[in-house]
Amino acid sequence: MNIRITQVTLLDESNDHHGSVVDIRIKDGIITDIAPKLNATKGEQHIDFENLIVSPGWFDSSVCIGEPGYEERETIKNGLLVAAKSGFTAIAVNPNTYPVTDSNSSVSYLINKAQNNAVSLYPIGSLTRNGEGVDLAELFDMTKAGAIAFGDYQHAISNPNLLKIALQYTQSFDGLVLSFPQENDLVIKGMANEGEIAIKLGLKGIPALAEHLQIARDLYILEYTGGKLHIPTISTAQSVALIKEAKAKGLDVTCSVAMANIYYTDSELEEFDTRYKVLPPLRNETDRKALIAGLKDGTIDMVTSDHNPLDIEQKKLEFDHAKFGTIAQEATLGALLTLVTERQAIHLLTAGRSRFTGEKAKIVVGEPANITLFTAKGTSTFTKENILSKSKNAAFLGAKLKGKVYGIIANNQYIAS
């Protein structure tokens, strides 16, 4: 694969050309030249888009792919193509498969199945056996197979001693523990944010307190044990404050926010549309604004699509019976650019890689190309034609978006959007 990208704004703080308009040449997947102007050579592909920006490849820290077990929702092959066309060169895949990703062999299956793709797949191993929240899974064995973190997707760790042991044990191999922020005993059969909207609609509430108590507990345990903790998809103003305080203490904690929670509020539930039934639930405008402020001041480390394909039998139901989740990768850039600048967006879409993998994508001569191509110009409306996933449970249908993904170059492949 030989490519010349021309007149592109390069945004990578590790590069001397950061912020400059340059040409980039890639040969056999390796960046060979970066200069203000490069002459064409025989046999190379020319890429030249209007208002083109190139950044280090994006990393999505929370993605669900049905395979194995739920291929009707999404397959690994198509899931990686969706990620590529949405601008991501790597994704962390949640263990909510069947069987649950809780062993060396199940981690190896995912990695082997994803080989030879432009997008790199990194498995998140289940923290507990079968994701049941009782006994720790074989964490070290999964690490040796390629798992990059451990957590039970959208299932809180109810037993505080289990979290304590996990944080202590994973220190021996620098493992990252994920703890979903929800105190289950305060939620029971909650469907939506506890507040005026839920009361008006007659829906059982999920109180913000359930998130605050769990995060406070987890941070106390982290302070006691040490270790590395990641709190996925926070959703409230108080959660931002708690994590900001913990970071000020020097605790090794990071957090993410799902794209839906910074774009929408619980007012979207007025029509009982199950596309907006997500977990954590959409909160109020005060919480949404606090989350955006947390992104801008660095308290929230990364944005995730929290992409969760679900088939029609699980979403086109009465609100109480529908499952939580939305697909979101296809709309992530466009929605995020309506809230932050392109440079902030790049940071929020790349920060997860170093936290989860210990690596950082750089646009450097002599290194393999791992880049995302996009523009921050232009507006559009997200429609059914923009859905690339097998499942169609998209909360972002009708959303007003900004910018556009042009594609990615990674693993010696160019995937155009």
Question: Is there a contact between 125 and 147 (Cβ–Cβ < 8 Å)?
Answer: yes
Task: Return d(Cα 7, Cα 319) in angstroms, integer.
Answer: 49
DSSP conformation class of 273: -
Residue 354 is encoded by which pair of tokens?
Answer: 């170093």
Residue 266 catalytic?
Answer: no
Question: Is there a contact between 205 and 194 (Cβ–Cβ < 8 Å)?
Answer: yes
Q: Which H or E run contains 246? A: helix 237-248
Closest CA to 14 of 382, 371, 363: 363
- In one-letter notation, the amino acid at residue 341 is T
DSSP conformation class of 103: S
Task: Return d(Cα 174, Cα 81) in angstroms, integer.
Answer: 31
**Max CA distance (Å), the chain:** 67
From 12, 152, 306, 320, the catalytic residue: 306
Residue 237 is encoded by which pair of tokens?
Answer: 């103003």
Q: How many CB atoms lie within 10 A of CB 414?
A: 20
Question: Is there a contact between 180 and 121 (Cβ–Cβ < 8 Å)?
Answer: no
Question: Is there a contact between 23 and 5 (Cβ–Cβ < 8 Å)?
Answer: yes
Query: What are the residues whose beta carbons fall under 8 Å from the beta carbon of 163, sequence distance 6 or more?
Result: 157, 177, 179, 218, 221
Query: What are the residues whose beta carbons fall under 8 Å from the beta carbon of 304, sequence distance 6 or more?
Result: 60, 61, 62, 63, 232, 233, 256, 257, 258, 259, 352
Kindly report the length of the chain: 417
Q: What SS3 state is found at 322? A: coil
- Compute CA 310 distance to the chain's CA centroid, rounded to the nearest angstrom: 17
Task: Return d(Cα 207, Cα 41) in angstroms, integer.
Answer: 61
Tell the burial category of 213 from Cβ atoms under 10 Å away from its Cβ (0-12, 13-18, 19+). Answer: middle
Task: Return d(Cα 163, Cα 177) in angstroms, integer.
Answer: 8
Q: Which H or E run contains 23? A: strand 21-27
Q: Which residues are catalytic?
A: 306
